[in-house]
Structure 1
Amino acid sequence: MSDTSPTHPMAETFEAQRDRLRAIAHRMLGSHADAEDVVQEAWLRLSRQDAATIHNLAGWLTTVVGRISLDVLRSRQTRPEASYDDRLSELVVTVDDTPDPEDDAVLADSVGLALLIVLESLGPSERLAFVLHDLFAVPFDEIGRILGKSAAATKMLASRARRKVQTVERPTGVGREQRDVVRAFLAAARRGDFEELLRVLDPEVKLTVDTPSGVVVTLGATRVAAGAQLSAGAATQGRAVLVNGIPGVVSWHEDGTPLSVLAFSVVDGRITGITVVIDQAKLALMDLPDPA
């Protein structure tokens, strides 16, 4: 893979921008690997460019990174099986042994996860407008040039995205109610109690399962409840944990090898999202507690 050469006249200037560009691409794509690829592609494009034609390098690079990221997001929509959000491999798992965890680092992680999850629900243009304007203070006219839209239209996109983001409940610690809802879900799954599962699941719940062959998404309480009934008997041991600050469970096979990590988003007494990791390669990267 090509990298910035110290002899290239633009290399030092590019390196000064690299962290900011990587941060933009990561917020756009939710994947560190994809963000690195985008930044590398931006460098390749810069290295082929006549430096004399670039009057504002920071703005030029922001535009290039924005356009490449937009292309990646759009390709994910047409080929959803090809998109993998590597935040699933970055989950922080800690034992849930305190009534009200107040670890600032864990809470910060959970806020970051919540933002990535809601950004995933935005369309590519909305996501670009929100990320560049609200998170990185890029003017609307510059964002509009990337999108091929007017500044006014771009401002409307960002406003619509902002309203969606603001509807997400930001974690402030895990309370008893959230734990009780998760426990009720797990108990109902073990019993095969379909009606109870529907009671604790939000009608539009989103289940995201990270498998060895990619990410599988299931939407809707009926489908999620049916899947929970079928998979409930696989684990022989389980332990309550916090996953990036939200309620979760680690399960193990009888021989003590990890089976899965689950994380539950709970809003207004119902489960709105479940993230499940069953890919052994991803589980091996996590610092998991021992079986209880």
Structure 2
Amino acid sequence: MTETSPTDPVAETFETQRDRLRAVAYRMLGSHADAEDVVQEAWLRLSRQDTETIDNLAGWLTTVVGRISLDLLRSRQARPEASYDDTLPELVMTLDDGPAPEDDAVLAESVGLALLVVLESLGPSERLAFVLHDLFAVPFEEIGTILGKSTAASKMLASRARKKVQAPRRAGGDEREQREVVEAFLAASRHGDFEGLLQVLDPQVKLAVDTPAGVVVTIGAAEVAAGARLASNAATRGRPVLVNGLPGMVSWNEEGRPLSVLAFTVLDGRITRISAVVDPAKLALVDLPDPA
């Protein structure tokens, strides 16, 4: 946690901005821990800055947080095997066996996390332009300053990002159709039906498995289908859930020990992404439902 002095007017101003800055960084990075680090780094930079030269402290802080987050996103792209984007941001789970949950707070959080999953498809510049403008109403002039681009170019980036964010909602179909695709995948996995798996997997499907040793990424329908046939033998019980607003599945072994949490992204009737958590330490931290 960032340490600030309550009697310092600059520190007081920073504290009034802390929650907003943390929210900006979280939606940029999808990680509460990374967001906290970014906010702390922004404070450190502010503490070294001559604040008399800052006309708009809130705008200056937004710019700094945006630039730090942008650098982190770009570094992730350079190291895709270690990217946090390959994991589910945070696990919010509800049962997918009836009407929508009545708990508005849980539902809203789940929808927000589903957006984070969609944001992963954006390039760093697109993500920054969309998040800052569409979610936090930052003017395009300021976004252009952060990106080193013109205002017009920043508008184009945000527009392109907006179309990508909206596309899954249009192409994904309703929840029932998405669940049918997932069920077809799970059934084909259980029966070792390789051709059936290929029918529901996008040719460039991405599987990201969060293991105790780190995130393991597999790309390609044939490769993912082969792995799915092998992995399906371990689970004896499963239960459909919504994971961060996405259709998913929790599985257990015969002793009732949780084996995995899966979340599926479905576009145009095919699975384009599977995010899996099999790390026992992380599964132990999740509020899982009881085995069916």
Query: Is TM more than 0.5 here?
Result: yes
- What's the CA shift for 1:102? 5.2
Alignment of 1:1-292 (within 5 A): 2-85=2-85, 88=88, 90-98=90-98, 100-101=99-100, 103=102, 104-169=104-169, 174-175=175-176, 177-292=177-292
Query: Distance between the aligned counterparts of 1:85 and 1:246, measured in 2?
Result: 16
Do the aligned partners of residues 86 and 50 (structure 1) sit closer, same or farther apart at CA in structure 2, a change above 3 Å counting? farther
CA shift, 1:86, in A, is 9.5
What is the SS of the residue equivalent to 2:122?
coil
Rounded to whole Å, the distance in 2 between the matches of 1:87 and 1:62 is 26
Q: What letter is aligned with 1:27?
A: R
- SS in structure 2 opposite 1:24? helix
Instruction: Determine the C-alpha separation between the residues in 2 that align with 1:281 and 1:216.
Output: 16
Please, which moves more after superposition, 143-152 or 20-29?
143-152
- Give the partner amino acid of 1:64: V
| Structure 2 letter corresponding to 1:219 | I
- The whole-number CA distance in structure 2 between the counterparts of 1:86 and 1:5 is 38
Compared CA separation, residues 10 and 86, structure 1 to 2 (3 A): farther
Provide, for residues 3-47 of structure 1, a one-character-per-residue CA deviation record: whole Å limited to 9, x for no partner.
112233311100000111111111111111100000000011111
**In 1, distance between residues paired with 2:156 and 2:167?**
17
**Contact kept in structure 2, 1:205 and 1:220, CA below 8 Å:** yes
| Counterparts of 2:245 and 2:126, CA distance in 1 | 27
User: How far does residue 78 in structure 1 lie from its aligned partner after superposition?
Assistant: 1.5
Q: What do you get for the CA RMSD once the two structures are aligned?
A: 2.2
Task: Answer yes or no: is the 8 Å Cα contact 1:237–1:253 preserved in 2.
Answer: yes
Count of matched residue positions in the alignment of Structure 1 and Structure 2: 290
Aligned amino acid, residue 289 of structure 1: P
Normalising by structure 2, we get a TM-score of 0.90
CA distance in 1, matches of 2:267, 2:164: 15
C-alpha contact 1:208 1:275 (8 A) present in aligned 2: yes
Deviation digits for residues 212-264 of structure 1 (CA, Å, limit 9, x no counterpart) = 22223323322211211121111122222232343222111232221101122
State the 4+ residue runs in structure 1 displaced beyond 6 angstroms: 170-173
CA distance in 2, matches of 1:249, 1:155: 38
Provide the secondary structure at the position in 2 that maps to 1:129. helix
Q: Classify the secondary structure of the residue corresponding to 1:168.
A: helix
Q: Percent identity?
A: 77
What is the CA–CA distance in structure 2 between the aligned matches of 1:164 and 1:89, rounded to whole Å?
19
String of CA shifts for 1:48-80, please: whole Å, max 9, x gaps. 112211111011101111111111111111223
Question: In the superposition, relative to structure 1, how do residues 2 and 97 fare at CA in structure 2: closer, same or farther (>3 Å)?
Answer: closer
Mean Cα deviation higher: 217-226 or 70-79: 217-226
Contact kept in structure 2, 1:107 and 1:173, CA below 8 Å: no
SS at match of 2:88: helix
SS in 2 for 1:262: strand
Equivalent pair of 2:178/2:266 in contact (CA under 8 Å): yes
Cα distance between partner residues in 2 of 1:33 and 1:136? 20
**Farther-moved stretch of structure 1 (157-166 vs 24-33):** 157-166
* TM-score, normalised by the number of residues in structure 1: 0.90
Q: Show structure 2 runs of 5+ residues with no match.
A: none
Cα deviation for residue 95 of structure 1 reads: 2.9
